[in-house]
Amino acid sequence: MMSTLHTWEKVDAYLTEQLIQQDSILEQVLANNKEADLPAIDVAPNQGKLLSLYAQMIGAERILEIGTLGGYSTIWMARALPEHGKLITLELDPHHAVVASQNIALAGLSQKVEIRGGEALEQLAKLEEEGAEPFDLIFIDADKPNNPLYLQWALRLSRPGTVIVGDNVVREGEVTNRHSTDPRVQGVRKFMELLAEDPRMTATAIQTVGAKGYDGFALGIVKS
């Protein structure tokens, strides 16, 4: 039987129903994002839980997120933090940041989450200037043309054992097109090249299908 987007959506719905407990807060967050006219590009529930599981598996105490949107993925990860844990998330769009702040407050996580507004590259440089402690988990999910620079900054703000996740790296298969004129595709291609070439990292990437269509993510760990 030929797989279709409809089939992928049905499977995602089944997996979510079976494995992810219904959560009125997260459902309200998505509703708030829709009401505020944010683009519907949040991670799927099963992807959000995967991020949470990563944080739990490595015992993350400090998380950095590049690209907040409405805070849906932020909440998934922040919930996995211990009581003293900290998540810093970077968001360019002031409207998105306001919505995310409201959603994070709704989830009761304001004490663990700090939203920093403005250009992510400027905020990353500021973190280094402040002498920020290394992060245990770094999630890169922002503008794809800057992915290579985000990865370089992630490495500067990491430690041996830090897990780095890059979202949306398959681009419906366009990542294989070296002649693509799409700056997002070229940004992802350079990101993948850096993952492969940098001796400080070991990484892989996985294709995904589901309610969000055909895409994938990269997963790497900083070596000792």
Total residue length of the chain: 224
89 closest CA partner among 109, 72, 68: 68
pLDDT digits (tens, 9 = 90+) for 170-217: 999 999 999 999 999 999 999 999 999 999 999 999 999 998 999 999
Give mean pLDDT, residues 63-81.
Answer: 98
Domain boundaries, the chain: 5-222
> Whole-model pTM?
0.96
64 closest CA partner among 144, 142, 143, 169: 142
pLDDT higher than threshold 90 for residue 1: no
Tokens 């996580």 belong to 109
Q: What are the residue ranges of helices labelled H in 20-140?
A: 24-35, 45-57, 72-78, 94-106, 120-129
pLDDT digits (tens, 9 = 90+) for 118-157: 999 999 999 999 999 999 999 999 999 999 999 999 999 9
pLDDT digits (tens, 9 = 90+) for 17-69: 999 999 999 999 999 999 999 999 999 999 999 999 999 999 999 999 999 99
Say if CB 100 and CB 74 are below 8 A apart: yes
Say if CB 64 and CB 162 are below 8 A apart: no
CATH fold group of domain 5-222: Rossmann fold (3.40.50)
Q: How many angstroms separate the Cα of 181 from the Cα of each of 167, 174, 175, 177, 217?
A: 20, 10, 11, 9, 21
DSSP reduced 3-state for 160: coil
Dihedral through CA 42, CA 164, CA 154, CA 82, nearest 10?
A: 80
